[in-house]
Amino acid sequence: MKIITTKDTIQGSVEAFKIFKDEIANGAKVLGLATGSTPVTLYQELTASSLDTSNLISINLDEYVGLTPDNDQSYHYFMQKHLFDKKPFKTTYLPDGIKAIDDPEGAAADYNKIIAENPIDIQLLGIGQNGHIAFNEPGTPFDSITHEVKLTANTIKANSRFFDNIDDVPKSAICMGIANIMSAKKIILLAFGASKAKAIKAMISGPVTEDIPASVLQRHPNVTVIVDQAAASELTK
């Protein structure tokens, strides 16, 4: 596991972009992408660049159950706004949050098939304060594949800031499993801010345990962790 410590989010995103650019130049075609505040600056770097994405395939980590792609809180909408409208890809995949209303197992199976047919060359991740990756909360089996996740009360509360009312927050999501994530050839994890410091320390130097889902990355042969100084602050203790 390679650790890169940077001054701030901007410098960290620049470092991440350099890795993506080099990997694409060396033949990477399938990018596993993430949503949330952490990758936004990286996507700004990407859209401002001259990088040609027209032959690339993207596969996102997750999507809320019940939100249509044009809903401004859906991850489909997020990706269009922050990346795809400015840098069109050859093909973009996100889980089907509408099919998942009545058939979550079918939506998950469809997505597992997509991942199997398009092996991910480089996977982008963030990390939660409790060590979760994507919506894979503590206790998620390491051998899990795409599945419906019932969102925890803490996650619903945290996400309510994006909605008019907490009752509007979706109660579940379709999410890549940990085994799907680990199948990527290369993984980049970004973490910025002091609130992520304990999770980063547990991920890097703690035991490999399902109580800290991100700790499984210790078992992956090609992981780069990019943190700012605040997120790295526990590593020297």
Q: What is the pLDDT of residues 148-181, one digit of tens each?
A: 999 888 888 878 888 888 998 999 999 999 999 9
Q: How far apart are CA 76 and CA 79, in angstroms?
A: 5
Task: Please indicate whether residue 82 is annotated as part of the active site.
Answer: no
Query: What are the structure tokens assigned to 41, written together?
Result: 């600056």
Annotated catalytic residue, options 45, 62, 63, 228? 62
The question of whether 63 is a catalytic residue gets the answer no
3-state secondary structure 88-102: CCCEEECCCCCHHHH
132 is catalytic: yes
Per DSSP, the three-state class of 127 is: coil
Q: How many CA atoms lie within 13 A of 22 on its CB side?
A: 7
H/E run at residue 175: strand 172-175
Q: What is the pLDDT of residues 111-135, one digit of tens each?
A: 999 999 999 999 999 999 999 999 9
